[in-house]
Every structure is written in structure tokens, then in C-alpha cells.
């Protein structure tokens, strides 16, 4: 069966999601030397996370967990009261396997959680919650809300611990070439695909179909002319299709974009790519929903030299539509890391002493210098002369957010 250009694009986009996760695993294990079955207790502030799009309102802890048929790994989860927390468990494609917290496990919100390779029966402590893993590795990302008391959050963070038995055999991550968000992979994504696909099963219902297309593209590359054609299609169609999709992703309104499919993507390979690209380790929407701001209300890319206002009406404040908390964080583009500034403020959130307008509305101000109209607590500094992006996070959103009835107000602009 002949391989069409559309087949090459589809196969490329399918593989990209896995390669983005492997890039992070290689960075964590080979560069950061984090090791498997070892918790990294991330510091607070701008250094809070090495991965993209970090939330600075939580104390993070993360680990790559490795098990085998004869050994489970146990996480000890402390009691956490009156603040948001979750232990998020992800697979090798960035799909969420489970969350452990008081909402998902009301009868066992803390205590021991055993990670077990599915289909095996290693010793597991009595009473532990068992999480069956689709492969021998999983990524754990736990968050504890600062809630205005960072010291207590850090204290709780350190009470998450692992019990790791001796003798677990761990395969190193499949090594992939260095690539950046600005310069994605070329034909090597296909030459490495057999090893990459064998390294982790994919829960996507259409995975077998996509993997069959990948195999046909790999076969096409066995001739010089075929290899050149695949390289040309990657450069002229596949990579542009990804970036075009990122610009048109999800629902768009007033400069904000949102996907209601994060964490579990169904058959949407492009959604998985885009979220792994700009917000790796995104959680499911019942835990957190992410509104991304890349443009103003007119569709013009955000510019750090301009002034922006986001005004929430008094009857639609972000705090009224969450069961936990909200935050708005500023990032660089295209790499989605926090941007240093003169007042060391990277976000605005529901625990800060934000000032409401006389009519009860709430304005968030973004500008390189504090605007005259902006109370100092409501101002988030922007990088003059550079583009930037925003992420508005709502934790434990109410139904009106999840079904689209509530949406952030537009990003309006003015000259500094």
C-alpha cells in the first residue's frame, strides 16, 4: 500500500508525543542524574521545576518509578488537611493513569500506595491502594498547595516517601537526539521508532492503526528516494501542521485557548502533542484545567512591551468557580519557562492580597512597569521586547468551567 503525504504527517504527529516524554525522561535521568525510585523534592520559586510550564503555587515532588514483575514500589502519602494536593501518575505518553487524593480515594486519601506492574503479583502491604501500571515505568508528580503557608507545604512535601525493595532491574531511557521546541526532530523520529514504540504501550484506542502507519513510513525510507521524500514531507508538511495545530488548538476566545481533553486524550494525537509540548504532565480536567493566553483579544501575539488587563466581572470571579484555588503564571515562549523580573513575581493567585475594583470586579494587570491604574499586588511584570504566554489554572473546577459556560474575560491591551 502506497504511503501518502498525509500518512507521513499522521505518523510523525503520532510519534512526537512519545518523543516529547522521552526527551524529559532523558533530561531527568541522564542530565539531572535524578535516578529511578528516588523522589526529587523541588524547591519553591522560579526553580520549582525543570519541566515546562511549572505551577509556582505548589510544592512539587516528582519521581520516575520503576518496578518489575517481582517487586512493587510503595509511596507513603501523609495526611494533608485544608489544602489541595494530589499524587498524579502518568504513563510514557503523557496520559494520566490515576490521581491519588481525597476526591479519587475518599476511603484512602493517604497512607500507602503500591505501584505494581499490571498482571503481576509482587508482595504489597496490606491495606495499600494498588495502582496497576501498563509498563515497568511511570512518572509521579505530586503537588501540595502552598495556601499562603509555604513552610507547612514544604514540611508536608517531605513526608511523601518511597519504600523501594532491592533487586529491581531498570532499563535506561531510550536515548533520543537533542531537540528543542523551536527545532523539532526530522527523519530520525522514524529511524528510532521501532525501539521507541517497543519501550512503552500506548493506551490510545487507535494506537495500533497509527503504529501500522509508522511501520509503512519506515518501510518507505529503505530507499534513498523514499527517505528523501519522507524528510521533505516532514519539513514542509508535518512540522508546519503541528505548529499550525498549536495555534488553532481547542476553544479560543478573547486571546485564551483551552483543551477539555488534557490528561486523557482519547484518539486526539494532536492534542497530546500540543500539551506534551507546552505543558508536559498536564493533569485531567477534573483536577486542573489550563487556559493558555498567547494573544490579546484581537489575535495579536502577546508583547512584553505592552500593557494588558484581564478584568473578571464581580459575578464571575475565578475564585467562585473552583473548589481549591486558581493562579495565573507568565512564561517565556516557545520554551514555557518562568521569566525573571525585578520584583521576583511570576504569578498572581487566589491566596495573594489582590485588590478588587469598586464594582467588585477583579483586574489582573500585565506590563513591563506597574501601570498607574494597577494596584501593586495585581501587577505581573512582563519581559519588555519579548513575547510571552500566560497559563490560568483552575484547580478542582466547578461544572460551569468544565462544560464551557465559564470562560476567562478577554486580554485587553493598551500602550505603556
pLDDT tens sequence across 123-177: 999 999 999 999 999 999 999 999 989 999 999 999 999 999 999 999 999 999 9
Sheet of 111-117: strand order equals 129-133, 111-117, 73-77, 161-163
pLDDT tens sequence across 54-99: 778 899 999 999 999 999 999 999 999 999 999 999 999 999 999 9
Residue 381 three-state SS: strand
Sheet of 306-312: strand order equals 379-381, 362-367, 306-312, 412-415
> Helix 224-233 to helix 207-220 angle, to the nearest 10 degrees?
130
Higher pLDDT, 248 or 267: 267
The Cα 301–Cα 308 span in angstroms is: 12
Q: What is the pLDDT of residue 415?
A: 52
Q: What is the pLDDT of residue 50?
A: 53
Q: What is the pLDDT of residue 416?
A: 45
Q: What is the pLDDT of residue 54?
A: 72
Q: What is the pLDDT of residue 376?
A: 97
The full set of domain ranges for the chain reads 5-21+174-247, 37-163, 251-415
Residue 364 three-state SS: strand
Q: Which helix (H) or strand (E) holds 46?
A: none
Q: Is the predicted pLDDT of residue 219 greater than 50, yes or no? A: yes
Q: What is the pLDDT of residue 201?
A: 98
Least confident of 49-53, 101-105, 338-342, 376-380: 49-53
* Arithmetic mean of pLDDT, 44-54: 62
The Cα 18–Cα 89 span in angstroms is: 16
Q: What is the pLDDT of residue 23?
A: 97
Any bridge partners for residue 386, and if so which?
none
State the maximum Cα–Cα separation within the chain, in Å, rounded to a whole number. Answer: 70
pLDDT tens sequence across 278-318: 888 999 999 999 999 999 999 999 999 999 999 999 999 99
CATH class of 251-415: mainly beta
pLDDT tens sequence across 323-382: 999 999 999 888 778 888 989 898 999 999 999 999 999 999 999 999 999 999 999 999
* In the chain, % of residues over pLDDT 70: 97
Which CATH superfamily, name and number, covers 37-163? Domain of unknown function DUF1254 (2.60.40.1610)
The Cα 336–Cα 278 span in angstroms is: 6
The Cα 15–Cα 211 span in angstroms is: 9
* Arithmetic mean of pLDDT, 1-8: 93
Q: Are 41 and 158 in contact (CB under 8 A)?
A: yes
pLDDT tens sequence across 397-414: 999 999 999 999 999 986
Higher pLDDT, 211 or 341: 211
Kindly list the distances between the CA atom of residue 331 and the CA atoms of 56, 102, 247, 301, 362, in Å, as whole numbers in the listed order.
11, 31, 17, 13, 22
Q: Is the predicted pLDDT of residue 262 greater than 60, yes or no? A: yes
Q: What is the pLDDT of residue 52?
A: 59
pLDDT tens sequence across 267-277: 999 999 999 99
| Those residues with Cβ within 8 angstroms of residue 399's Cβ, 6 or more apart along the chain or in another chain | none
Q: Are 37 and 240 in contact (CB under 8 A)?
A: no
Least confident of 2-11, 177-186, 200-209, 239-248: 239-248
Q: Is the predicted pLDDT of residue 1 greater than 90, yes or no? A: no
The Cα 190–Cα 286 span in angstroms is: 35
* Arithmetic mean of pLDDT, 101-117: 97
Amino acid at each position: 500500500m502506497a504511503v501518502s503525504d498525509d500518512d507521513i504527517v499522521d505518523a510523525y504527529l503520532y510519534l512526537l508525543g512519545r518523543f516529547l516524554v522521552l526527551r524529559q525522561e532523558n533530561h531527568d535521568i541522564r542530565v539531572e542524574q535524578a535516578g529511578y525510585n528516588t523522589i526529587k523534592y523541588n524547591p519553591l520559586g522560579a526553580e520549582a521545576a525543570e519541566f515546562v510550564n511549572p505551577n509556582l503555587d505548589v510544592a512539587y515532588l516528582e519521581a520516575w518509578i520503576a518496578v518489575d514483575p517481582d517487586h512493587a514500589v510503595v509511596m507513603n502519602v501523609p495526611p494533608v488537611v485544608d489544602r489541595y494536593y494530589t499524587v498524579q501518575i502518568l504513563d510514557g505518553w503523557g496520559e494520566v493513569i490515576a490521581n491519588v487524593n481525597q476526591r479519587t480515594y475518599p476511603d484512602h486519601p493517604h497512607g500507602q500506595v503500591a505501584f505494581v506492574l499490571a498482571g503481576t503479583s509482587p508482595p504489597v502491604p496490606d491495606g495499600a491502594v494498588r495502582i496497576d501500571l501498563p509498563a515497568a515505568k511511570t512518572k509521579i508528580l505530586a503537588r501540595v498547595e502552598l495556601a499562603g503557608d509555604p513552610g507547612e507545604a514544604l514540611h508536608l512535601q517531605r513526608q511523601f516517601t518511597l519504600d523501594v525493595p532491592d533487586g529491581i532491574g531498570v532499563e535506561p531511557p531510550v536515548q533520543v537526539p537533542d531537540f528543542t521546541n523551536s527545532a523539532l526532530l526530522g527523519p530520525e523520529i522514524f529511524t528510532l521508532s521501532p525501539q521507541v514504540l517497543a519501550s512503552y504501550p500506548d493506551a490510545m484506542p487507535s494506537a495500533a492503526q497509527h503504529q501500522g502507519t509508522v511501520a509503512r513510513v519506515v518501510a518507505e525510507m529503505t530507499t534513498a528516494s523514499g527517505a528523501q521524500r519522507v524528510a521533505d514531507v516532514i519539513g514542509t508538511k508535518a512540522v508546519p501542521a503541528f505548529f499550525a495545530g498549536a495555534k488553532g488548538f481547542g476553544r479560543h476566545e478573547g486571546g485564551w485557548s483551552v483543551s477539555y481533553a488534557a490528561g486523557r486524550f482519547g484518539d486526539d494525537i494532536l492534542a497530546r502533542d500540543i500539551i506534551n509540548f507546552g505543558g508536559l504532565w498536564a493533569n485531567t480536567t477534573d483536577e486542573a484545567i489550563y487556559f493558555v493566553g498567547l494573544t490579546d483579544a484581537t489575535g495579536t501575539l502577546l508583547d512584553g512591551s505592552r500593557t494588558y488587563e484581564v478584568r473578571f466581572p464581580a459575578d464571575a470571579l475565578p475564585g467562585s468557580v473552583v473548589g481549591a484555588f486558581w493562579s495565573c503564571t507568565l512564561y517565556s515562549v516557545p520554551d514555557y519557562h518562568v521569566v525573571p523580573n525585578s520584583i521576583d513575581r511570576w504569578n498572581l493567585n487566589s491566596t495573594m492580597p489582590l485588590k478588587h475594583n469598586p464594582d467588585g470586579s477583579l483586574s489582573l494587570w500585565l506590563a513591563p512597569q506597574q501601570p498607574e491604574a494597577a494596584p501593586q499586588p495585581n501587577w505581573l511584570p512582563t519581559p519588555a521586547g519579548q513575547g510571552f504566554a500566560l497559563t490560568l489554572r483552575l484547580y478542582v473546577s466547578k461544572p460551569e468551567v468544565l462544560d464551557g459556560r465559564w470562560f476567562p474575560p478577554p486580554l485587553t491591551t493598551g500602550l505603556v
